Amino acid sequence: MHDLTDEEQQLYDMVCEFADTVVAPQAYEADRTHELSMDVVAQMGELGLFGLPFPEEVGGQGGDYMALCLAIEGLARVDQSVAITLEAGVGLGTMPIFRHGTDEQKAEYLPDLVAGRALGGFGLTEPEAGSDAGATRTTAVLDGDEWVVNGSKQFITNSGTPITRFVTVTAVTGERTRPDGSTSKELSTIVIPNGTPGFTVGPGYDKSGWRASDTHPLTFDDVRVPAGNLLGERGRGFANFLRALDEGRIAIAALATGAAQGCLDEAMAYAKTRNVFGVPIASHQYIAFTIAGMQARVHTARLAWHDAARRADAGLPFKKEAAIAKLVASDAAMLNARDATQIFGGMGFMNETTVARHYRDSKILEIGEGTNEVQLMVIARELGLAA
């Protein structure tokens, strides 16, 4: 890739080799059994992938968000479940602690998180609250020196693995009065360690895609945690999460680009070796043009997320560019998965093929981290239009 430094290219090549030799061979079995390989996660930790965007003084690799997203793209070529484990582990588990945690919270959690020895989850989504965080119903009431948390969350990634240490949850901690006299919910974030009495991690979901990704519903029944488990300033819970959400859209765009690239790679290899009527199907113009269109989508998606990541790392505004990247790349993943499956024909309907798994996995890319309709809304607002 022409815009990468030598170090960035080496990182991408290293992750791609790891993905091809370690991740890909186990991807079908992990998908079939709905089980995340903790051995793969451990090896990712040994490679330093969970510490990529964090400074060396906290045990990280001293890289940036671009480096993390390059790793996510490289993994997603062969297994989106593994890629989202890294994305959520860093962006939703570790980053809030790094940015908003107290010295005590950082000392307790960061060493294991950045080394990949532990994972954290982020509990935002509820049955009635997703993009509309104002609909949050989970509550946290301060009782002496403890928070008492009640409510539920759903679709929470990395919340029930053997190495999950905690879930950070958004909760209503009171009311705020606006200048006009009206009130709104005060949302704060609270760290709840796994195993806390009253905190139940429900059975994993039976998902149509990302089946090896660890995803659970959570319930909180009079869960008591110390007042010091408040993460960041009280009432700033959702505001602090907004940057993570924007960054997450870049990461999902990188993941989607990897998926689109994986579909392209598989389609090209199959079209060159699959013979029909005595000739490779790649020799037919329709197949060749279809693959050319797939390449154009990958190229466009990659340019979009690279631009957004460079802006984020440079401290420039990137909300609009992140939304564009997520929109373009998720569309590319879905369209490339469809085209690759068609090129594979009947084999593309078999789950042991990478393209079949990408076909199922890619749909969530148009939903997670804000639906594509939300991305259009964000872009329109950034353009100064009512939406």
Residues tagged active-site: 369
Six-digit token string for 197: 């009495």
Question: Using CA atoms, how far apart are residues 70 and 84, in angstroms rounded to an integer?
Answer: 13
Question: Using CA atoms, how far apart are residues 19 and 36, in angstroms rounded to an integer?
Answer: 15
Distances in Å between the alpha carbon of 285 and those of 271, 275, 282, 288, 338?
12, 14, 8, 5, 18
CA torsion, points 30, 33, 35, 38, in degrees to nearest 10?
-50
CB 158 within 8 A of CB 122: no
Helices 65-76, 285-313: crossing angle, 10 deg rounding: 160
CB 240 within 8 A of CB 170: no
CB 74 within 8 A of CB 15: yes
- Provide Rg for the chain, Cα atoms: 21
